[in-house]
Amino acid sequence: MLDALGAQPVILGLHAEDTSQDAWRFGGIEAHLVDQSGPAAFGFAPDLPEALDEARLDLLHLHGIWQYPSLAAADWANATGRPLVISPHGMLDPWITSRNAWKKHLARALWERRAWRSAAAFHALTDAEAHDIANETRGARIALVANPAPALSVRDETPRGPSVLYLGRIHEKKNLSALIAGWITARPDLPEGATLTVAGWGDDAGIDMLEHAMRDHREVGIEFVGTAFGSQKAALLDLARFVILPSLSEGLPMAILEAWAAGVPTIMTEHCHLPQGFASGAAIRCGTQSEEIREALVDGLHKSESEWQGMSRAALDLAGGPFGSGTISQRWEELYGVLLAD
């Protein structure tokens, strides 16, 4: 989006195991990745400050917190006097800050609060995240800009079968164990042939947990298909009647925006922080308990075709309107313009 607006974006980051696999996402935009040293959890990269200086930036936008790049970004902002924008991306959610809380306390004391004081603005994805940022930073300037949805798909009017898709990371905060339990208890009340497809990635422990559950309950229509990108993801969305995300914690989940852009309604918790979906009729609210998920699944898969088509149209309206790339890019242009003019 920044490139299309006439800006000259430069990507600075840390080398990781999957860097080569993800390089295509940069789309030819200038990128400089530096090597890490020491514990991966800290993300120390001794060459990052030099890379920041050599990039000759007018503005620095830091994505994510709790690691060394926060300290490097603060040093850059203080040395240059140029604006720093910080996007926590959900990392100040109370569910996150309560995990390994002692490490977060240490990071606050050693470098994060200094970085937060150096920021010209914080970026919040949702109203809920803006509240979390305000609680942590006490007086910081906060700009609310959502993630943009992908380009809209051509809506398929062909009736879909009773297929539900989970798409995302295999992680405890995604609440997959409750989803599986809810699906098992819902199955007798679902339409014939109902299926739950789980597509995603995660660490070994998460995958082992999921595969164990699949082995125990393969007869109830649950299938784990592993990672899905590009055409594979599009094919799964083309088949899905609903995308489900029963998360305990989210920033602003791209899986929901991808579903809406494909005209697929969603079943999700309030922790996805997308109340527009409930208000417009593009989403069904579920709780985080297995029984609440069961009720939402039964409700969704018993919607009539006309009801589902209405939900699908509402999903596309959201993805092409308030979450459309044109709307979001304008918000970024306005914010960066104000900060650079200050």
Q: Domain ranges in the chain? A: 11-148+324-341, 163-320
pLDDT tens digit sequence for 124-141: 999 999 999 999 998 899
Whole-number pLDDT of residue 25: 78
For residues 81-101, give the mean pLDDT: 91
pLDDT tens digit sequence for 238-266: 999 999 999 998 888 999 999 999 999 99
Closest alpha carbon to 246 in 149, 180, 327, 314: 180
Confirm if 121 and 142 have CB atoms less than 8 A apart: yes
CA 233, CA 225: separation in Å to the nearest integer?
A: 11
* Residue 81 CB neighbour total at 10 angstroms: 6
Q: Where does residue 22 fall: left (phi above 0), alpha (psi -120 to 50 degrees), or beta otherwise?
A: alpha
Q: Which pLDDT band, with edges at 50, 70 and 90, does 217 fall under?
A: low
Average pLDDT, the chain: 91
In degrees rounded to 5, what are phi and psi of residue 93? -60, 135
For residues 173-190, give the mean pLDDT: 93
Whole-number pLDDT of residue 139: 86
Q: What is the 3-state secondary structure (H, E, C) of 23-68?
A: HHHHCCCCEEEECCCCCCCCCCCCCHHHHHHHCCCCCEEEECCCCH
For residues 161-173, give the mean pLDDT: 92
pLDDT tens digit sequence for 10-25: 999 998 877 777 777 7
How does DSSP assign 167-211, residue by residue?
A: EEEE-GGGTHHHHHHHHHHHGGGSPTT-EEEEEEEE-HHHHHHHH
| Cross-strand bridge partners of residue 198 | 166, 224
* Residue 132 CB neighbour total at 10 angstroms: 21
For residues 32-60, give the mean pLDDT: 92
- Domain 11-148+324-341 identical in fold to domain 163-320: yes
Given a cut of 90, whether residue 158 has pLDDT beyond it is no
For residues 167-196, give the mean pLDDT: 92
Hey, what CATH class is 11-148+324-341 in?
alpha beta
Hey, what CATH class is 163-320 in?
alpha beta
